[in-house]
Amino acid sequence: MGITGTIAWALLAGAREGYDYATTSPRFEVRALLFEPTTHIDHEAVRALMALPPGTNILSLELEDIAARVVSNPWVETASVVRVLPDALDVSVVEYEPRAVLMAAKPMLVDGKGHAFKRLEAGERGRLPLVTGVSDVMLLTNPEESELRITRAIDVLTAWETKIRPRLGEIHVAEAGEVTVYTAEVGTQLVLGRGELAPALERYDALRAAIGDDAETLAVVHLNHTPGPDRPDRVIATFLPTQTPDLLAEAEAEAVARTEQAAQDALKADERKERRSRKRRGQRRAKQQSRLPKYQ
């Protein structure tokens, strides 16, 4: 073996020894986790997702595999894992941001891109609007149309929120992108149609400005009129009855009346019980007196 071969062998052996040292030395065991908790992923959760056994060598890890484990949580959209030598891993997580709830047999949370990323669980809806018009059959047999309708709904929500307007409770998307929305509090039905959203929303804003507080009594509003040379722009609206029963107030009043009646009934029952008790005490005293000896 010549000098060159000897040097090459020595370098290779040295590199091998260095690799063996680095991948087995306790100095490079993972001991620290650098992670900023998110809304749904805390330190304990990310450690469980990474599933690193004690004594894991930081240089032996496939970081993409570790990141894939973190992304397996349905709340996680993206994750990255970076080595911080000698013994720490820096983990970054971006969560999905729910924008609506897709109403299907199993309701799903939908993000701002129209992606249904997670099955809805108790307490997760909050104030999110519902997206309807996408059936379970459509999701299975026509995913392209399903995606178009969900994306259309998110576009409507985004456009709606560009100004201060009543909160939406439901966004219904029908065939050819026909959109009808319902406000959350009053339940006003607004027919936006299948065309551009901006003109329909401008008509709605103009209507609300024109009628003021009466906007709270709108029942159905058709905003999908297409103006033309012989068709002036218009809005067709119907209103709720001026005297609408306040069901909540009635129910509360009935509950108060029932409570008061129950209290009165209980008071009368106590009074009857007290009268019977006094009567029994009187009868016992009369019997005791009848047993006393009589002196002449």
Q: Give the model's confidence band at 80: pLDDT under 50 very low, under 70 low, under 90 confident, else very high.
A: very high
Q: Mean pLDDT throughout 230-247?
A: 77
Alpha-carbon separation of residue 254 from 37, 246, 267 (angstroms): 48, 12, 20
Alpha-carbon separation of residue 172 from 18, 133, 154, 204, 253 (angstroms): 64, 5, 11, 17, 36
Residue 162: the pLDDT is 97
From edge to edge, which strands make up the β-sheet containing 88-95?
32-35, 88-95, 76-84
Architecture label for domain 98-239:
3-Layer(aba) Sandwich (3.40)
pLDDT tens string 212-229: 999 999 999 999 988 778
Q: Span 18-95: which CATH code?
A: 3.10.20.310
Output the pTM of the full model.
0.73
Q: Give the model's confidence band at 19: pLDDT under 50 very low, under 70 low, under 90 confident, else very high.
A: very low
98-239 has the same fold as 18-95: no
Q: Mean pLDDT throughout 166-187?
A: 96
Which residues, in sequence order, are CB contacts of 274 under 8 Å at separation 6+? none
Q: Which residue has the higher pLDDT, 284 or 158?
A: 158
- List the chain domain ranges: 18-95, 98-239, 252-288
pLDDT tens string 201-214: 999 999 999 999 99
Could you identify the residue written with the tokens 């019997």? Answer: 287
Smallest CA-to-CA distance from 213 within 171, 166, 169, 156 is with 166
What amino acid is encoded at 276 in this protein?
R
